[in-house]
Amino acid sequence: MAMSEPPPYGEGADVLERVRTMMQWTPQGRALGLEVTRIDNAKVWGRAPYKSELVGDPETGVIAGGVITSFLDQLCGMAAVLAMREPAIVATIDLRIDYMRPAEPGRDIFAEAHCYKIGRNVAFVRAIAYEDAPENAIAHAASAFMVNPNAVRQFGANLGGKSAVEKKT
């Protein structure tokens, strides 16, 4: 796979492997079975496998909208991270999803996300979800991410505020 320029996210042949690992880092991504399939600069492609436990409409077998929300949110976040010079955590500010049509029952969903603008504080990302081709889209997403939102927050910050952190130290 020829790339026009080296991706900003690190160097070397194992970049895709590291990005894949990053996708697996979130428990929700693992639970949904989300995968990164390809990267190219600030673009990322991914797959959300069809699973019967993720169906949103038992009559038709169509996958739940929430799965697409999680998938596109995470893939957009990956694209934002890929657009950075140094990897950092991002947090979603907002996410808009337009549903063109229901996903086809029984089929994996693919998506591509592109971070088309990144600043010091905010990254803007668009994504498209489909089965076969982006021209026949299931959904379009537009999102904004805060760059490095946890720079001043400690690990475990959500485990009960200052007291929990103080107790540990």
Partner 1 sequence: MSNLHDRLAAALARIPYARFLGVRAESMGDELTLILPYSEHLVGNPLLPALHGGVVGALMELTAITQLAITNKSEKFPKTIDIGVEFLRSGRPVETYARARVVKIGRRIANVQAEAWQSRRGEPIAALHGHFLLDEEEG
Residues at the contact surface with partner 1, assessed by CB under 8 A: 25-31, 52-58, 63-67, 69-74, 89, 91-99, 102, 150, 153, 155-159
Rounded Cα distance between 53 and 61, Å, is 10
Q: Which is nearer to partner 1, 3 or 154 (CB)?
A: 154
Q: How far is the CB of 146 from partner 1 (least distance, A)?
A: 9
Q: Report which of 56, 47, 103 is spatially closest to residue 75, judged by C-alpha positions.
A: 47
Q: Which is nearer to partner 1, 8 or 29 (CB)?
A: 29
Nearest-10 Cα torsion for 126, 73, 129, 9:
60
Rounded Cα distance between 140 and 126, Å, is 7
Q: Which is nearer to partner 1, 155 or 169 (CB)?
A: 155
Q: Which is nearer to partner 1, 42 or 54 (CB)?
A: 54
Q: What is the largest CA-CA distance in the chain?
A: 54
Q: How far is the CB of 67 from partner 1 (least distance, A)?
A: 7
